[in-house]
Amino acid sequence: MKSFKVVFVVLVLAVVSLSFKQPKTNVLIIGDSISLGYTPFVKANLIDIAEVQHNSGNAKHTGNGLKHIKSWLAAGNWDIIHFNWGLWDLCYRHPDSKEQGKRDKKNGTITFKPEEYEKNLDSLVKFIKHNSEAELIFATTTYVPENEAGRFKEDALIYNEIAKKVMKNNGVKINDIYEVSKTIHKNYGKGNNDVHYTNKGYELLGEHISDYIKRIIN
């Protein structure tokens, strides 16, 4: 009889514990191929406290974001949205370029000029805030190496300053990952002509993103 009571008490405590267990936080990550690279690591790092998803496909530039943001928001009931645009916006492309993605900073045309980027980004932030109650976090653009075919190293800094101004004006938190990404890229980037990272590089970026989101959840 005594053992039965012990088992009963354990079962009751287990049920009570489950009933008080906090539901996981729904996190949406919006971004380009860099975010696609680190998202699996963010998912793994936050598995106990959050359900992490990435927007469908590559978010590319702010123009693409304006076309698809409504459907991305509608894909879930989000508590946190961690988002980024920039690397595609500041990229120069030319139809005759042989580089991947037609990148060509010598002869090409920029995707969105700084003033266009600012306008688009502001519109995106206002749309998200109007259509979601999620906590918003903007991640700054990552490091651009010197010999990247379609991007100027200095433009990442220019576009980041624009983005910071837009976020501050709209009351959005800023996860400034530029300096972190610069350090990571020098050790685990795919080269001085590529904005992307090795698997280890994405893992380290994922740790930084996860730590920031975790602080917001807790």
What is the distance between the alpha carbons of residues 205 and 40, in angstroms, rounded to a whole number?
11
Look at residue 14 and tell me if it is in a domain.
no
Position 12 pLDDT exceeds 70: no
Average pLDDT, whole number, for the chain?
A: 93
Residue 12 lies in a domain: no
Does some domain include residue 102?
no
Please report the beta strands in the chain, taking only residues with DSSP state E, as ranges in sequence order: 25-30, 50-54, 80-83, 92-93, 109-110, 135-139, 173-175
Find, among 66, 57, 107, 73, the residue nearest to 89 by Cα. 66
Q: What is the maximum span of the chain, computed from C-alpha positions, in angstroms?
A: 85
How many structural domains are present in the chain?
1
The pTM for the full model equals 0.89
Which amino acid does the sequence have at 105? K
- pLDDT over threshold 50, residue 203: yes
DSSP per-residue codes, 138-207:
EEPPPP--TT-SS--HHHHHHHHHHHHHHHHHHT-EEE--HHHHHHHHHHHBS-TT-S-B-HHHHHHHHH
pLDDT band for position 8 (cuts 50, 70, 90): very low
Do the domain assignments include residue 131? yes
Question: Does 69 reside within a domain?
Answer: yes
Domain that holds residue 71: 21-88+114-217
Residue 32 belongs to some domain of the structure = yes
By percentage, how much of the chain surpasses pLDDT 70? Answer: 90
The answer to whether residue 6 is domain-embedded is: no
Query: Which positions ≥6 away from 208 have C-beta within 8 Å?
Result: 177, 180
Specify the CATH number for the domain of residue 167: 3.40.50.1110
Q: Which of 2-6, 27-31, 52-56, 68-72 has the weakest average pLDDT?
A: 2-6
107 lies in some domain: no
